[in-house]
């Protein structure tokens, strides 16, 4: 739903990217980096065809109405806790379908990212690092696309299925890894506008036009190649790859029953598309469900938002399991932060990053695990406190990657994950 109650953070008012524009400065050139895996390891990792699905509950979903309820306390609100398929583990009553999936999932309830700004919090959760002027870090999706992806795949390795009105090619996501591993954003799950060949242009003429463009690009790159020219060239390649597989976006190919199971709403359609993309070999898919920035009427909006999320998420886990994909697909449900335990005068919850939760399932995850603890009213972590760096170490370990290895950019080693952190071993299978 359209959440006009949200705060007026700049992160909620950014301009929409155009598909063939690279966005802002890339920060660092993409040339001259080496693989952090040995060739043998890289071949084996890619052969396993591991995938990642990130469900980003944008705006900051409340941990108290999802993964860490506190019923009967001064901060708990009206929602009760219900048992799950794992004895002793309870989650919010707003997630009855998800509760029956707990035996496939793990919850981390002890996150403290200490960042209550939307943009900075999202950056931490998507890169495992805090923003600094000195370095731009690659998104999880870009790293996964580089290290796990099939180099011969006709589809981009990192696809973001976003709400209506947002689309484009964002080279900034890949940072020093280069635009080849940047995200392609599909607004409302549709291919970016103006990609299809117009009927007035013949297939032969289009082919000749693209061949001419490629020759000119190659000639230009021989003497003046840069991150900018590489990003521009790569955007055309990404666009053509999406065009060649545009049948993937036709959800009418799915049965009415399947579409009904996922839900006749935007999030349901986007998650069904995500499943089709994962089945087709896309390495990393991110689906954004918006908007959880509930400064007003937190409980009413969470009832509605989680009503969409709950059944659709459970359906996705069922489908991935039924298709034999769950064991090689890491599924992460995250946000940029949680919501305050204190309920404000507008019956809302504000930004809260000091004690919140995420959920994981699938590849490399110890099913049924519930890690960490907050105090009785959810204001502080009391056991197994972790931050974004720990989460990234955990994701990479779950996927069979070694987060203590380095990327190499222009001969300079850059740690794959925060060297001051380590994996949450209790959540790993």
Residue-wise DSSP of 295-348: SS-HHHHHHHHHHHHHHHHHHHHHHHHHTT-GGGEEEEEE-S-EE-SS--TTS-
Determine the pLDDT at residue 234: 60
CA distance 92 to 74: 16
28 to 44, 65, 173, 392: CA distances (angstroms): 29, 41, 12, 22
108 to 115, 186, 347, 367: CA distances (angstroms): 18, 30, 26, 12
Per-residue pLDDT of the chain (429 residues; tens, 9 = 90+): 555 556 766 555 444 344 444 443 333 333 333 444 555 566 677 778 999 999 999 999 999 999 999 999 999 999 999 999 999 999 999 999 999 999 999 999 999 999 999 999 999 999 999 999 888 999 999 999 999 998 777 788 999 999 987 877 787 899 999 888 999 899 999 876 666 677 888 888 888 887 887 788 777 777 766 666 665 666 666 666 666 677 888 999 999 999 999 999 999 999 999 999 999 999 999 999 998 999 999 999 999 999 999 999 999 999 999 999 999 999 999 999 999 999 999 999 999 999 999 999 999 999 999 999 999 999 999 999 999 999 999 999 999 999 999 888 888 899 999 999 999 999 999
β 338-339/329-334 pair status: unpaired
The candidate with the shortest Cα–Cα distance to 35, out of 350, 417, 429, 409, is 409
Determine the pLDDT at residue 16: 38
Determine the pLDDT at residue 337: 98
- Which 8-state DSSP code applies to residue 209? H
Determine the pLDDT at residue 258: 97
Q: Where are the alpha helices (DSSP H) in 188-226?
A: 203-224
CA distance 295 to 46: 43
List beta partners, residue 369.
106
CATH 3.40.50 assigned to domain 10-427? The reply is no
CA distance 261 to 311: 8
List beta partners, residue 27.
none
């Amino acid at each position: 739903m359209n959440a006009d109650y949200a705060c007026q953070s700049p992160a909620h008012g950014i301009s929409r990217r155009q598909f063939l524009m690279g966005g802002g400065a890339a920060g660092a050139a993409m040339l001259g980096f080496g693989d952090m895996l040995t060739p043998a390891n890289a071949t084996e990792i890619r052969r396993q065809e591991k995938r990642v699905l990130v469900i980003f509950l944008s705006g900051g979903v409340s941990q108290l109405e999802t993964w860490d309820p506190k019923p009967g306390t001064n901060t708990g609100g009206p929602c009760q806790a219900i048992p799950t398929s794992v004895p002793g583990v309870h989650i919010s009553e707003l997630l009855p379908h998800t509760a029956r999936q707990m035996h496939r999932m793990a919850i981390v309830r002890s996150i403290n990212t200490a960042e209550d700004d939307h943009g900075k919090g999202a950056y931490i959760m998507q890169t495992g690092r805090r923003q600094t002027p000195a370095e731009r870090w690659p998104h999880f999706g870009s790293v996964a696309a580089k290290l796990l992806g099939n180099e011969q795949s006709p589809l981009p390795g990192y696809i973001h299925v976003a709400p209506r009105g947002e689309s484009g090619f964002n080279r900034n996501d890949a940072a020093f890894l280069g635009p080849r591993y940047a995200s392609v954003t599909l607004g409302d799950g549709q291919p970016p506008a103006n990609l299809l060949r117009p009927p007035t242009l013949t297939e032969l003429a289009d082919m000749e036009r693209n061949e001419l463009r490629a020759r000119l690009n190659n000639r230009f790159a021989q003497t003046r190649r840069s991150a900018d020219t590489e990003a521009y060239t790569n955007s055309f390649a990404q666009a053509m790859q999406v065009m060649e597989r545009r049948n993937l976006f036709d959800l009418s190919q799915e049965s009415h029953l399947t579409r009904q199971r996922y839900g006749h709403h935007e999030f349901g359609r986007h998650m069904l598309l995500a499943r089709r993309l994962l089945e087709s070999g896309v390495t990393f898919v991110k689906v954004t469900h918006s908007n959880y920035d509930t400064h007003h009427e937190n409980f009413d909006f969470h009832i509605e938002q989680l009503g969409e999320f709950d059944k659709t998420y459970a359906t996705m886990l069922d489908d991935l399991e039924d298709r034999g994909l769950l064991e090689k697909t890491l599924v992460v449900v995250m946000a940029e932060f949680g919501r305050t335990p204190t309920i404000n005068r507008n019956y809302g919850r504000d930004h809260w990053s000091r004690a919140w939760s995420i959920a994981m399932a699938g590849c490399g995850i110890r099913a049924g695990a519930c890690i960490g603890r907050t105090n009785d009213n959810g204001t502080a972590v009391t056991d197994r406190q972790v931050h974004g760096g720990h989460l990234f170490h955990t994701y990479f370990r779950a996927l069979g990657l070694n987060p203590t290895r380095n990327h190499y950019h222009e001969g300079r080693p850059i740690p794959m994950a925060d060297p001051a952190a380590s994996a949450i071993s209790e959540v790993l299978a």
